[in-house]
Homo-oligomer: A and B are copies of this chain.
């Protein structure tokens, strides 16, 4: 229904189909407006959206070109672990394994101030699913000190309570250490999938977490960026 979206989709098609390969020049706004039977701002909107998606580059006077894609960008969806497990039709379980006040260690971003260190396990149908090793900055989130995380995981509490302005994620594969392995019911050295996330509120770190999944059967699905139909959502499964 939206004309600028139709135009966006049509131009996207010309790019992905190879009609306009990387580096190719795109007709100017006036010509496109004529072709599509609309006014220039409508075309401009479509082109502007293509720029945002990183598919074309525009320079005054020089015109618009299809960008040389040197890297592929994909969109990952990381749901709340409970949501994820329940969406798979499995029973969610939460176990607090340890909680202590401690200064942020050298390994953390939290720094030398007061911090809350929490270790907990999320399970699916009683089977270990994710080990969560979290630091919360008590100077940024003093409220956390009053929480016991016996029934509810710190992830859900934080999502509901504390805003953040920036987040960083690191994905990696690692060998399970002795303690991790025991918690997850694996052999020491077994492969695990690790998601590390740090969030900030302004300049202050809020929380830092290592989410550790058994490598066997854990997969992260991703979808493309800059495509028309955002119908297919990312998801995770454990076959």
Copies of chain A in the complex: 2
Shortest Cβ distance from A30 into chain B, in angstroms?
21
B17 in contact with A165 (CB, 8 Å): yes
B220 in contact with A172 (CB, 8 Å): yes
A83 in contact with B69 (CB, 8 Å): no
The one of B21, B75, B189, B220 that contacts A73, using a Cβ cutoff of 8 Å: B75
Counting chain B CB atoms within 10 Å of each CB, which of A73, A171, A213 scores highest?
A171
- Is the C-beta of A167 less than 8 angstroms from some C-beta in chain B? yes
Q: Which residues of A contact B (CB under 8 A)?
A: 16-18, 21, 49, 52, 69-80, 83, 159, 162-175, 189-194, 213, 215, 218-225, 227, 234
With A166-B224, A167-B224, A175-B215 known, 12 other A-B pairs at CB within 8 A are: A16-B163, A17-B165, A71-B77, A74-B167, A166-B227, A168-B223, A169-B222, A170-B221, A171-B171, A173-B174, A173-B191, A173-B215
